[in-house]
Amino acid sequence: MFLYLNKNFLKAKTKQNFILLSITKQQYFMKKVLFFFLIILTHRSLIVAQTPVYLDENQPMEKRIEDALSRMTLEEKVAMCHAQSKFSSPGVPRLGIPENWMTDGPHGIRPEVAWDKWYQADWTNDSCIAFPALTCLAATWNTDMALLYGKSIGEEARYRNKNVLLGPGVNIYRTPLNGRNFEYMGEDPFLASRMVVPYVKGVQSNGVAACVKHFALNNQETERHNINVVVDDRALYEIYLPAFKAAVQKGNAWAIMGAYNKYKNQWCCHNQYLLNDILRGEWDFDGVVVSDWGGVHDTMQAIYNGLDMEFGTWTDGMSKSKTGGYNQYYLADSFLEKLRTGQVPVCELDKKVRNVLRLIYRTTMNSKRPWGAFGTEEHALAGRKIAAEGIVLLKNQDNVLPLITEKLKRILVVGDNAVRMMTVGGGSSSLKAKYEISPLDGIRKRVGDNIQVVYARGYRGPELKSYNGVLARQIPDDHRSDEELLKEACDEAKLADVIIFIGGLNKAERQDCESHDRRDLGLPYNQDELIIELCKANKNIVFVNISGNAVAMPWVKQVPAILQAWYSGTEAGNAIASILFGDVNPSGKLPFTFFEKLEDIGAHKLGDYPGINKEQTYRESIYVGYRWSDKENIKPLFSFGHGLSYTTFEYGEVKVDTCEMTKDEQITFTIEITNTGEEDGYETVQLYISDKKSSLPRPVKELKGFSKVFLKSGSSQSVTFTIDKESLSYFDDVQHKWIAEAGEFEALIGSSSTDIRSKINFYLQ
């Protein structure tokens, strides 16, 4: 523009030379200077018009947000606060501000559904890599695995143009009946906190927001839409909130999802205490609060109690979706009406829109974010690595495992779970996987043709042809009776060198599945009887439990080898086979306690689970999981932190750098670990802290550190743990703050919560 005008000016200057000659030299220069000023001014205004602040990536984000906000109409702003389809919300097309697209989460990218229907959109290019369930990830006790998981699933989300991944879930494992425990990270707030942070960071490194869910106290599925949770502040702050807090403060999560249930008689999706006081007030959360799908119940509360975006509301009043009814959402027309009539000030709307815009700037409007990748071999192998690291060897009497192929001629694989697809079912985390290796396929592939692998179903799980419109692998119709199935398995057992029983739960309703809890702790479909009968026929039996929850094992003494193999996604069968045959030395540790029976669990012993008059009181308070079994001296079936290896580890004596620390100091514990067996392997060394005397009751001990180390056979390594007063603190519910009380403490280092190998006392001044 500048050059163009200048050229014209010169042209004119030559043509009308006589005018120029008639003015003085000084006048000429003055004119020229003025002209250049004019040009610069025009030029500047052109630049500004081309790049408004809200689009200028060189401007600070908050400034861009304010600029965008100032350009939006009331209607455009309100539209941003609620869904426009099952999984999306509008941007501002007029301003070039993009839509938000959400996806489940948390184990893979959900297949596309129709705009306003839950059924599949029938895309042919949306088959994802299914990663292991989050319980499996937690069982790796390896933060590198959490980062790998987050990065990989984030890449899948990014490629599919989703800017919010609805996960991870970090609700605490309070009862093994919770149908959604498989989507969470176990019973311990410290373990869940450590594992959630890298997951969130990995996802967000792709310019995709992790939406941490379900905030908070969503610890059961039964009555999840109505139950009011009554919990004391100590349990809330010490047990149920830390993982969310870590995700927000250490992981810098960009989004959080409210839970379905109520707390203090307010639904959690619009809850003054959880969202305004704690999340925004105490933790300074600057991301966006998204409702769970259909979790909003009231316009005024949704306006004032911390919600930013409403999704999934059943528009005709808690039953079914009305096509195109998005304007009937609580944060849609009724919100607009209240703003228009002045019942609600616009600043309340602006608060929400700022959070939504911040989400958009961090994701879709970040031109530097990577492009992602989808369904790749790299992702499948990442899933396999995580799956293999998460499998827990619960029992291995007489070293039944690993199986030595040279010694085997005939393997009998029994169980419905050996062939059942586990990436479909279970609720909103259900996937359309690119492929899924079943345990039977994995075993067959691993042993090749030299060993005969015979399959007997043994028991029958429910028929599943498809789920949410995604086809499940067909298990051939089998009309034989239960007795016939059992007989076939037992007859085959007598002929086999080893039986691999692949059983457990599945993703059917009232198993590991959203919406309902399990009915009891026992294995379904008569598996107990089958296992007992098989043991009579052949003692060389390995039980592989596929589940996201603990199960009762009344036959535990009869079965020499037991593996906890979770839901492991696309590469499940290969991961299981790699452990069974010793290609990978198991290193998973339980992220929750396997109690023998329900009455051994605080929530069931004391509690009114699943609630009385739609109220659930957490009477066991802070005594969840091992905190309860420690306090009550209950011997669990398998302890929190337990997991065997094909090698053995010896622990030295723990040493401490100082016996007394002040509240501003740190303290370091060192212990030497030696691999005394013949295999190389990983050991997860666990640090628990015990407060010897305290003004408030405290758990016997609490996990405050862990370190997963790789040791070659015969080698040793020093493991150190450095902690500060945070690891010694409790939450004082009267003063409403964390207190590190002076006095004597004990550091306990071990291989599980009940296998403590060395202890040392120290003092806090």
Rounded Cα gap, residues 694 and 307, in angstroms: 39
Q: Which of 126, 188, 292, 416 is labelled catalytic?
A: 292
- For residue 644, the 8-state DSSP code is B
Query: Smaller CB distance to ligand BGC: residue 166 or 412?
Result: 166
Rounded Cα gap, residues 393 and 559, in angstroms: 13
Binding of ligand BGC by 88 (CB under 6 A): no
**In sequence order, what are the residues at sequence separation of 6 or more whose Cβ sits closer than 8 angstroms to the Cβ of residue 406?**
none
- CB 275, min distance to ligand BGC, A: 17
Query: Smaller CB distance to ligand BGC: residue 175 or 430?
Result: 430
- CB 388, min distance to ligand BGC, A: 27
Query: Smaller CB distance to ligand BGC: residue 385 or 507?
Result: 507
DSSP string of 449-484, one letter each residue? TSSEEEEE--S-----SEETTEEPPPPPP----HHH
Which stretches within 16-121 are classed as H helix?
17-22, 25-50, 61-71, 74-79
Query: Smaller CB distance to ligand BGC: residue 104 or 238?
Result: 104
Which residue, chain included where needed, has tokens 């037992």?
490
Neighbouring C-alpha atoms within 13 Å toward the C-beta of 591: 38
**In sequence order, what are the residues at sequence separation of 6 or more whose Cβ sits closer than 8 angstroms to the Cβ of residue 660?**
762, 763, 764, 765
- CB 154, min distance to ligand BGC, A: 16
Neighbour count for residue 58 (Cβ, 10 Å):
7
How far is residue 509 from each of residues 166, 432, 433, 462, 522, measured CA to CA in Å?
Answer: 21, 18, 20, 10, 15
Query: Smaller CB distance to ligand BGC: residue 513 or 601?
Result: 513
- For residue 23, the 8-state DSSP code is S
- CB 169, min distance to ligand BGC, A: 7
Strands (E), 240-331: 255-258, 262-263, 266-267, 288-290
Which residue, chain included where needed, has tokens 């594992």?
195
- CB 427, min distance to ligand BGC, A: 7
Please identify which residue in 64, 65, 104, 196 interacts with ligand BGC, judged by CB under 6 A: 104
Instruction: Point out which residues pair with 120 in neighbouring strands.
Output: 113
Helix 377-390 crosses helix 572-580 at what angle (to 10 degrees)?
40
Rounded Cα gap, residues 627 and 506, in angstroms: 28
Sign of CA dihedral 725, 730, 733, 734: negative
Task: Take residue 351 and report the two structure tokens written for it.
Answer: 């608060």
**In sequence order, what are the residues at sequence separation of 6 or more whose Cβ sits closer than 8 angstroms to the Cβ of residue 339?**
74, 78, 345, 346, 349
Query: Smaller CB distance to ligand BGC: residue 166 or 661?
Result: 166
- CB 284, min distance to ligand BGC, A: 25
Query: Smaller CB distance to ligand BGC: residue 248 or 451?
Result: 248
Buried b (16+ CB within 10 A) or exposed e, 252-271: bbbbbbbbbbbbeebbbbbb
Query: Smaller CB distance to ligand BGC: residue 110 or 446?
Result: 110
- CB 308, min distance to ligand BGC, A: 16
Query: Smaller CB distance to ligand BGC: residue 260 or 688?
Result: 260
Helix (H, G, I), strand (E, B) or coil at 350: helix
**In sequence order, what are the residues at sequence separation of 6 or more whose Cβ sits closer than 8 angstroms to the Cβ of residue 476?**
none
Q: Write out the H or E segment, with its range, that includes residue 616.
A: strand 615-617
Size of the site for ligand BGC (CB under 6 A): 7
Per-residue contact flags (x/-) with ligand BGC for residues 161 to 200, judged by CB under 6 A: -----x----------------------------------
How far is residue 63 from each of residues 75, 209, 361, 622, measured CA to CA in Å?
Answer: 22, 21, 11, 44
Task: Take residue 706 and report the two structure tokens written for it.
Answer: 């862990």
CA dihedral 718→724→728→732, nearest 10 degrees, is -160
Please identify which residue in 428, 506, 570, 707 interacts with ligand BGC, judged by CB under 6 A: 428
Query: Smaller CB distance to ligand BGC: residue 86 or 358?
Result: 86
Q: Of residues 129-168, which lie at the interface with ligand BGC (CB under 6 A)?
A: 166
Task: Take residue 45 and report the two structure tokens written for it.
Answer: 């205004």
CB contact at 8 A, 76 and 139 = no
Please identify which residue in 82, 83, 88, 105 interacts with ligand BGC, judged by CB under 6 A: 105
Rounded Cα gap, residues 346 and 340, in angstroms: 9
Distance of alpha carbon 24 from the chain centroid: 79
Please identify which residue in 76, 156, 187, 292 interacts with ligand BGC, judged by CB under 6 A: 292
Q: Which amino acid is at 466?
A: S
Please identify which residue in 213, 354, 432, 757 interacts with ligand BGC, judged by CB under 6 A: 213
- CB 271, min distance to ligand BGC, A: 16
- CB 90, min distance to ligand BGC, A: 18
Query: Smaller CB distance to ligand BGC: residue 312 or 442?
Result: 312
- CB 641, min distance to ligand BGC, A: 28
- CB 507, min distance to ligand BGC, A: 15
Binding of ligand BGC by 310 (CB under 6 A): no
Q: Which among 449, 359, 511, 392 is positioned nearest to 140, based on CA atoms?
A: 392
- CB 180, min distance to ligand BGC, A: 8
- CB 213, min distance to ligand BGC, A: 5
Task: Take residue 572 and report the two structure tokens written for it.
Answer: 């499940």
Binding of ligand BGC by 293 (CB under 6 A): yes
Q: Is 732 a catalytic residue?
A: no
Neighbouring C-alpha atoms within 13 Å toward the C-beta of 515: 11
Query: Smaller CB distance to ligand BGC: residue 299 or 428?
Result: 428
Query: Smaller CB distance to ligand BGC: residue 321 or 526?
Result: 321
- For residue 115, the 8-state DSSP code is T
Sign of CA dihedral 733, 249, 259, 727: negative
Active-site positions? 292
Where along the sequence are the contacts to ligand BGC (CB under 6 A)?
A: 104-105, 166, 213, 292-293, 428
